[in-house]
Each structure stands twice: as C-alpha cells, then as structure tokens.
Chains A and B, each alone.
Chain A
Amino acid sequence: MYRIDFNKLRFLICDDNPHMRRILRTLLHSFGAREVYEAEDGATALEMYTHYVPDIVITDWSMPIFDGLELAQMIRQPESNANPYAPIIMLTAHSEKRRVTVARDAGVTEFLAKPISAKGLYQRILNVVANRRPFIKTKSYFGPDRRRNTSNTYIGPERRVGGEMEVMQQPSLLDKARSSI
C-alpha cells in the first residue's frame, strides 16, 4: 500500500469562489499538506506558479480575467522558464464529456467534476504522483500523453505516425526553471 507524504508537496489552487478555495484548503491540509497557495483568477495563479514553483496545480475552469483552461495553456509552454511539466488537476462544475476532451487537449493532467469529494481529490493526486505520463509535443499540442491505453492497435485518424528518428538528451527544464528563480 502506498501513502503520499503530503507535507513534501507544494500545491497551488486557483478558484474564484472563496468557499471552494476554503473547501480545497481544508481537504489538502487534512491530507497533510502544509504548503497550499491560493489564487482567485488565472492571471494571479500564473504569477504564483512562476514564483512558488508548485508541484501540483488544482484549478477551476470558469473564472474571470483568464480561466483555468487558459491557465493550463500558459503553463504548458515548452519553452517557458517556469516548469511546463507540473501536473494540472482541473476541478470544475462542467460535467459534459466534451469538456474533458477540451481540457485534455489544453494539457490538463486529470479532470475532476464537482461536487468535490475527499476520495475523488485524493485519487487524482495519487494518480499524478504515482503514474506520471510522458509528455507529447506535436505542432499543435504539448502536454501529458493523452493516450492512457498503451495498445498499439489504434488505427483511427488521430494516430501518431512516423518511426523513431533520434534520441536527444537535454537538461531538465524543471531544473532550469528552479535554478532561474
């Protein structure tokens, strides 16, 4: 059985609703988290993201100024000085399947539909901590691998094509981001 040392994790939560922020803070603190930073809109969250370098971002979707989807897109900039690889959990009252696809295509790591539960939140956090997926970079996408199924039998129109060309080693952008702060 695995347990998470929440006291070693730094969270950034972003929600314009103060009650939901309080609920999230309460849940994370009772899981054992000590470092929980809060923003009430996407712009502030992006600033805090660069400043505090959180391990995990939990964001609402619908917010004024710029929303959680735009926040995810801003974080997932491969050339960014800040860490573009941090897990993003989208916690939202949007409950339509098509929204999951839109969030996924913006680089969101996990989707959690409200109403929130302690169990649902814990499971999403456990998922991003234990089952890190590789990142995919294409002309139009940068984010966690959108295919959770590793089967090679998929032959649909969105199948990635092309054989392996080369393997490059690059210094970790995460380390670069952390050392630049």
Chain B
Amino acid sequence: MAKEKPGELEIKTFATHHVITQPNPLRKVLRRIPPDIDHDDPVARAEQALADLSGEFKQWMTIEADRLSAAHAVVLRHGFSHETREELFRAAHDIKGDAATFGFPSAGAAAESLCRIIEHAPDLDKVPPELITHHINAIQAIVRERTKLDTSVMANALSRQLRGIADEFLLKVNHDRPEHLEAILAPSIAPAE
C-alpha cells in the first residue's frame, strides 16, 4: 500500500467497494492535558449555561404547545391532508424532543404518544377525534399547570394513561401490518432523564 501523504486520500479498491481513508483534519483541535492540571469542565460549563437559559423555558414551551393547538385547530376545520398532517406531526415531534429539556417531561411523553398515533394509524380520518384532542389538551394542561405543587405526579399519570390508550388503539388497527407492529413495540432509544 502506498504511503499516505498529508491531505491526500488513500483509496483501497476491492471487488465490491472502496475504502477511503482521509488524514483526519480535525485531529489538530485535540489537546492532550495531564489530568492533574485539567480543571476545565466544558460539560459543566454548558450545563450551567443551560440553567441560565432556563428562565425562558416556560415561555418557549407555551409557544410550542400553542403551535400544536393551532395545527390541531386547522385539522378540525379542514380535515387531514398531507400539509395538515405534517404540521400537526412536526409540532408534536418538536415537543417530544424539546419538552424534557425545558422541564416538561410529561408533556414530552404525551407528545410522543401523539406522534405514534400520527405515524402508525393506517387512516387518520378513522382515529377517534377525542383521542387526538385528549393528547393536545393534556399537553396544554401540563404546560399551564406546571407551577402547581401536585401536578408533576398527575402529569406523569396522565401521559402514561394516554400512552396506554393510544398503544391499545394502535395495536388493534395494525394487527395485520407487521412492520408497524414491530415499530410500535420496539423500545425507545431516547436517553433516560
């Protein structure tokens, strides 16, 4: 094999594929520091920066929940189309991803359940409308009532109950769609809180 020159690609060719090795241009940004003099903790610094930002999270979460309600209102007025489905899904999907970071993990769990309904229901027009409405109302309630002392346990129970009902519905309507069944039953890879 030819010797690698800096900045050049080394390509090994095989019958079915090429293996391309590039000198790592990012290697230069790594510094080796003896542990005894390393007092810098970038992760702790970043966590502190997030904590400093947390005063805005409630307002952000309200905006996200209102966006979801607005998308739902359009569905109620015009029914499901490609566009209305996509907007409802994206709004729920954003809450699924953001809510735990913003301090609303139960809202995230309810949004995940809603995402699963939108993704795996064979026909959204045949989903009981109240199933979707309950999810959206629950998310709104969790966001609005968060400051009350006893709401955390209640929010948790509410989102778990919604997930149970949604899963029961999804398992029933997907009994002859094995690829959806597999996805519905697969464990989540999202990091634990």
Chain A residues in the interface with B (C-beta under 8 A):
1-6, 8-9, 16-17, 19-20, 22-23, 26-27, 29-32, 55-56, 62, 64, 85, 87, 92-98, 100, 113-122, 128-130, 132, 134-138, 145, 160-175
Which A residues are in CB contact (< 8 Å) with B63?
19
Q: Is B193 in contact with A122, judged by CB distance below 8 angstroms?
A: no
Q: Output the nearest chain B residue to A117 by Cβ-Cβ distance.
A: B191
With A165-B14, A171-B8: A115-B101 Cβ-Cβ less than 8 Å: yes
- A85 touches which one: B17, B22, B40 (CB < 8 A)? B22
Q: Is B190 in contact with A5, judged by CB distance below 8 angstroms?
A: no
Main secondary structure of the interface of B (DSSP, over half): mixed
With A169-B8, A169-B10: A114-B98 Cβ-Cβ less than 8 Å: yes
Main secondary structure of the interface of A (DSSP, over half): mixed
Q: Is B42 in contact with A122, judged by CB distance below 8 angstroms?
A: yes
- Range class of the B interface residue count: 35 or more
User: Can you pick out 14 interface pairs between chain A and chain B where the beta carbons lie within 8 Å of each other?
Assistant: A3-B40, A4-B31, A19-B102, A26-B53, A64-B86, A93-B190, A113-B191, A114-B100, A115-B190, A116-B101, A118-B43, A164-B13, A166-B13, A169-B8
With A26-B53, A120-B191, A136-B20: A55-B10 Cβ-Cβ less than 8 Å: no
Which A residues are in CB contact (< 8 Å) with B53?
22-23, 26
Asked whether any CB of chain A lies closer than 8 Å to the CB of B55, the reply is no
- For the complex, give the distance between the alpha carbons of A80 and B50 in Å: 37
Nearest Cβ on chain B to A4's Cβ, whole angstroms: 6
- B1 touches which one: A9, A134, A167 (CB < 8 A)? A167
Asked whether any CB of chain A lies closer than 8 Å to the CB of B175, the reply is no
